[in-house]
Amino acid sequence: MRIVRDQHGRVAYDSTNKRAGRGAYLCHSPECWEKALKRRGLERALRIDTLNAEDVAALQKIADTLTEDDMEKDS
């Protein structure tokens, strides 16, 4: 699953995998998303100082919808 930082510095999920901007990839595992948000992995990958609260909330909402069954999509 691709997360992208656009030219305006906003971070969002890229469901098309085609949006312009610096991208980072996360697996479909809820644990993967939790670690990336908690350990600042996305900030490092996207080369930003910090995610703003709106972006974190939007990404957390996506993470909350993931289930362990979604991990099969990575295979």
- Is pTM beyond 0.95? Reply is no
Class of domain 2-69: alpha beta
Q: Kindly indicate the confidence band of residue 75, based on its pLDDT and cuts at 50, 70 and 90.
A: very low
* Domain locations along the chain: 2-69
Task: For 26-57, write each residue's pLDDT tens digit.
Answer: 999 989 999 998 999 999 999 999 999 999 99
Helices (H), 1-75: 30-38, 41-46, 53-65
Position 3, amino acid: I
The residues, ordered by sequence, that sit 6+ positions from 35 with a Cβ below 8 Å of its Cβ are: 41
The answer to whether residue 72 scores a pLDDT higher than 90 is no
Count of alpha carbons within 13 Å of 16, Cβ hemisphere only? Answer: 4
